[in-house]
Amino acid sequence: MIRNYLKTAWRNIVGNKFYAAINVAGLTFGLVIGLFMLLWVQDELSFDTFNKKGPEIYRIGIIGGTDVSKQIFTSIIAPVVPAAKNELPEVIDGVRILNVGSAPFKYKEKNFIEEHAAFADPSYFTVFDFPLVNGDKMKPFQDNNSVVITQTMSKKYFGNEDPIGKMVILGLNESLKVTGVMKDYPANSSIKFDFLLPISRYNQLAYLNRNVNYDGKTRVLSMDADWVNFSFETYLRVKPNTDVEQLTKKLRSIHERNRPEDAPVPYLAQPLYQMHLYKADGSNGGIETVRTFAIVAILILVIACINYVNLSTARSMLRAKEVSMRKIIGAGKLQLFMQFMIETTLLFTIATVLAIALMYALMPIYNNFSGKQLQVSAGNYQVWTYIVITLVGTLAASSIYPAVLLSSFEPLKALKGKVAAGIGNVAFRKVLVVVQFTVSIVLIIGTIIIGRQLNYIQKKDLGYDKENVFSLNMRDIKQHYDAFKNDLLKQPGIISITRAGGDIVNNNGWTGDNDWDGKPAKSNLLFHPIAADKDFMAFFKLKMKEGSVFTGAVADTTHFILNEAAVDAMGLKNPIGKNIRIQKMRGTITGVVKNFHYASMRKKIEPAVIYYRPEDCYKVYIKTTGTDAPKAIAAVQKSWKQYNNDTPFSYTFLDDSFNQLYKTEQRTGALFNVFSVIAIVISCLGLFGLATYSAQVKTREIGIRKVLGSSVTGIIRLLATEFVLLIVIAIFIATPVAWYAMDKWLQDYAYKTSISIWIFLLAGGSATFLALATISVQSLKAALANPVKSLRSE
């Protein structure tokens, strides 16, 4: 019986190649896009879940600052871990990580700049599931001169040699012995460091010769007693069923007992599994994008199913007599149902095979496009489970309705041609078209608004000039900066040079250790400090609101320039001449610079203070002419080798750093472009099916109208009117949905584009034009048909 079903189904597919091809194409496109998106969602949701003790691990943070400077910090003070382990019975263990960022490493003649180096507690390997393939996880560091590296770094530095016991050089002459090799981090890990040094080494180097602490008041001999340095990413492993809210209150109490002048210091504890998709305070972060993609993936699959349903039912008239004859010769309703289910399954199987083949072929492109490392592996049961559930759900959704419809004809009515009206009045089919185009229009609107926001970010006046500027960390150039600068200014293509103690594109530095004339007693205002030299303001074309810039005089070491946000937050009416202290530095406010964006536009501009301290500057900025940039880079590289011969040369253009801040939005926008195109293509295929059906059931009416003198235009208008009405309904439904969704998306930005009415008009007009183009193909064919033939056959 099954064999007969399959044979009949195959004959029907082969006999209707055109419609079968449309069906297969629609399902294939829908499955490929839907599955790609669902795999992306599954990967996002899987971050850090490989850590088996994950439900017991929390990242500790604090809420700092007041008013406009209020923000959440995920790096805290070092004493929290030992204090929590000693005083809180619910705490099992803890890990502190001090991110070094980029650091120069050398092995024999190999020199590298590594971007992911850090100091960490030995418990890093027992709290987290980062296994060592070589070494002892209970004692990963033999002493303060040890280092643990990843398998990739081992291969990079030592090839196939055994790395254990090998010596690498950090910086100029710090020898480190490899005592462990980590298995490479999973792609879905939020924590990734290629080089790990014992945190006790940092403790030794940072506190050995320190006379005073960061606050300039007290001498601290160990980081475990330093309640001022908020630089340590901290994780606590707690006992199951621990009351996390009570835990944070206890941590706050410990902090305020040891550092009462900091009070109040609210603590936060974020579950490890939530770090990737939620902000530290538990509010939504990337999870909104994940939810959006999951919904869009399901909707893409739904409109692919709708496309199949429409095409199947559009051709139901051609099969009505076939079904009736089968019933007359004894076929039961169940048999007919099974026949059409197997036919759908066969079509769906073909589409599935093509979809999976396309996924394998397109996976490298998709990974590059999305920034992922996804794969459809035969051994990844989770991925296959995901795919099977999706395929079964899609198959069920796209096959049951057509099968029920095609098996339910009354044979006598069908043979007399009286079944058409019953099918033609099914409103459900029109609802499906409205749903398809509603989704498509929402995606088009989303694509336009995301593109506008990215364009707004690119073109907004940042308050400083970043064009044709590249930067690099100076390292040993710092001691020879004047010679370095004078030499380069003689080179063609180099316009000007300055230096600073931070990244002007994304300055993450901050300090709450400050005071000024008239500071409120309860104020805990945070400043973003920026060390600069005398050329900094002119180099970036920063605009002064009042006061003067630095001149390079000795007196400038006691001068401070605030941005407008700082003056407003401090409540100063006449700031020039007011006394101010930033950490150990004391002086007067000599200038106010107009606000400029030194961070992402998701945040409002926060208080910043620029101070003259060339010795604190570690980054050099070089402005070039656009055409001579390669010559400028070559000249800088030559000078680099003169002062940093043992360290690889690397640089970054500010435009690239700026774009990096919005990489997620750029990828989201690009993916939405693809989603929109696929959705509208599938929707038009469904509309084509509906237009085909409409032309078939109105064949006699069209013939009579033509005989009575109706024009081709009139016939097209007849067939197109009802479809245009459906598209208009879809536009009215999609407009408020898209406005709400995109308005919510834009809330993440302090500085954002507007949602203009023309966006909805453009999206609706585009959808209507494409729909009319699709309908016109079939309508024109019906309008040009010979009426004599249609009336004779009817």
Nearest to 62 by CA among 312, 230, 305, 210: 230
What is the pLDDT confidence band of residue 285, given thresholds at 50, 70 and 90? Answer: confident
DSSP structure class, residue 511: B
Tell me the per-residue pLDDT of 640-669, one tens digit each, with 9 for 90 and over. Answer: 888 887 778 888 998 888 888 888 778 777
Mean pLDDT score across all residues of the chain: 82
Sign for the CA dihedral angle at 282, 672, 764, 451 comes to positive
pLDDT beyond 80 at 596:
yes
What is the pLDDT confidence band of residue 785, given thresholds at 50, 70 and 90? Answer: low
Helix (H, G, I), strand (E, B) or coil at 38: helix
Distance CA(470)–CA(284), nearest Å, equals 34
pLDDT beyond 90 at 90:
yes
Provide the pLDDT for residue 708: 62
The percent of residues above 90 in pLDDT, for the chain, comes to 33
Torsion region of 468: left, alpha or beta (phi above 0 gives left; psi -120 to 50 gives alpha): left
pLDDT, mean of residues 148-170? 93
- Count CA atoms closer than 13 A to 351's CA, side-chain side: 31
What is the pLDDT confidence band of residue 317, given thresholds at 50, 70 and 90? Answer: low
Please tell me the least confidently modeled range out of 22-26, 155-159, 349-353, 541-545. 22-26
pLDDT, mean of residues 676-699? 71
Q: Which residues 6+ apart lie within 8 Å of 773 measured at CB?
A: none
Distance CA(124)–CA(115), nearest Å, equals 19
530/701: higher pLDDT: 530
Burial class of residue 492 in the structure, from the number of CB atoms within 10 Å of its CB (0-12 exposed, 13-18 middle, 19+ buried): exposed
Please tell me the least confidently modeled range out of 63-72, 191-200, 256-265, 574-583. 63-72
The dihedrals phi and psi of 600, each to the nearest 5 degrees, come to: -60, 150
pLDDT beyond 50 at 420:
no
Please tell me the least confidently modeled range out of 510-519, 533-542, 561-570. 510-519
Q: Distance between alpha carbon 44 and the CA centroid of its chain, in Å?
A: 10
Provide the pLDDT for residue 424: 42
pTM: 0.81
What is the pLDDT confidence band of residue 398, given thresholds at 50, 70 and 90? Answer: low
pLDDT, mean of residues 617-636? 89
Tell me the per-residue pLDDT of 482-496, one tens digit each, with 9 for 90 and over. Answer: 999 999 998 888 999
**Whether 620 contacts 472, CB under 8 Å:** yes
Tell me the per-residue pLDDT of 102-111, one tens digit each, with 9 for 90 and over. Answer: 888 988 888 8
pLDDT beyond 50 at 423:
no
Reading the block at residue 592, the tokens are 């106010």
Distance CA(478)–CA(613), nearest Å, equals 13
Nearest to 300 by CA among 30, 41, 32: 30
Distance CA(432)–CA(302), nearest Å, equals 10
Helix (H, G, I), strand (E, B) or coil at 526: coil
Sign for the CA dihedral angle at 287, 293, 297, 302 comes to positive
Distance CA(174)–CA(765), nearest Å, equals 66
Q: Distance between alpha carbon 46 and the CA centroid of its chain, in Å?
A: 15
Tell me the per-residue pLDDT of 447-477, one tens digit each, with 9 for 90 and over. Answer: 889 888 888 888 888 999 999 999 998 888 9
**Whether 95 contacts 128, CB under 8 Å:** yes
Provide the pLDDT for residue 425: 42
What is the pLDDT confidence band of residue 421, given thresholds at 50, 70 and 90? Answer: very low
Q: Which residues 6+ apart lie within 8 Å of 136 measured at CB?
A: 180
Provide the pLDDT for residue 622: 94
Domains of the chain by residue range: 1-47+283-425, 54-274, 469-658
Kindly give the interhelix angle for 316-328 and 287-314, rounded to the nearest 10 degrees: 60
What is the pLDDT confidence band of residue 53, given thresholds at 50, 70 and 90? Answer: very high
Q: Which residues 6+ apart lie within 8 Å of 289 measured at CB?
A: 664, 668
